[in-house]
Structure 1
Amino acid sequence: MQLDWAALVGFVGTACIIGAYFYLTASEKPNPLILHGTNLAGAALLTVSLLVHTNWPSLVLEGFWAAIAIWGLWKALRARKNAP
C-alpha cells in the first residue's frame, strides 16, 4: 500500500508531537516556545492530514491539542515579556 501526500504530512505531524513529548521528558528545563511551537506544528500537520482522511474523533483531539499549544505559547510569550 502506497502512502499519499496527506498521510505523509500526518506522519510528520505525529513526529512533531512525539518529538515535543520526548523533549519535555528529556530536558531538565524545556523551552516552552520550542515545546508548544512543536506541538502546534504537529497538530496543524495532523489536521491537514485529517481533513483529507477524515477521522472525527482525531480531528477534535487535534483541535484541543492546538488550542492548548496556543495557550502555552501565549503564556510563554507573556512571561518572556514580563521578565526583568
Structure 2
Amino acid sequence: MSPVDVAGLVGVALILVAYAGAALGKVDPERPLSLCCNLIGACLILWSLLAGDFNLSATVMEGAWALVALAGLLRWALRRKAEG
C-alpha cells in the first residue's frame, strides 16, 4: 500500500468519525473539531485521487465536501469574532 493510499484511508476514517459522532449526537457538526476532520479528511482523499487513481465523480464530491467544511469554519470564525 502506497503512502497516497494510506492518506486516502486516513481521510475516509476522519470523515466517518466526524459523521458518526454527529449522527450519534456526540459531536456538534458546526464546531471546529468536526469541520476540521471533514476538511482534512476530504483533502487527504482528494490527494489520493489526484496522485493515484483519478475518479472524476469522487473528486468532485470530495472537493465539494472540503468547500462546505471550509465555509462552515469561516462561518464559525466570523460568528465568534462578532460575539467577541
Q: Tell me the TM-score normalised to structure 2 length.
A: 0.87
Q: Aligned-pair RMSD on alpha carbons? A: 1.6
Q: Does 1:78 align with 2:73?
A: no
Q: 1:6/1:28 Cα in 2 relative to 1: closer, same or farther (>3 Å)? A: closer
Equivalent-residue separation in structure 1 for 2:7 and 2:26 (angstroms)? 30
Q: Where does the alignment leave 5 or more consecutive residues of structure 2 unmatched?
A: none
1:53-83: CA deviation from partner (whole Å, max 9, x where unpaired): 2111100101100110011001111111112
CA drift at 1:4: 1.6
Distance 1:20 1:47 in 2: 17
Q: Which has the larger displacement, 17-26 or 58-67?
A: 17-26
Q: Say yes or no: does 1:4 pair with 2:2.
A: yes
Letter in 2 for 1:73: L
- The Cα shift of 1:28 comes to 5.5
Work out the percentage of aligned pairs sharing the same amino acid. Answer: 32
Size of the aligned set, in residue pairs, is 82
Matched residue type, 2:58: S
Give the corresponding residue for 1:47: 46
Q: Deviations over 1:2-45 (max 9, x none)?
A: x2221111000000100111221233661611111110000000
User: Bigger shift: 16-25 or 35-44?
Assistant: 16-25
Gaps of 5+ in 1: none
Matched-pair contact (CA < 8 Å) for 2:21–2:27: no
TM-score (norm 1): 0.87
Match of 2:37 in 1: 38
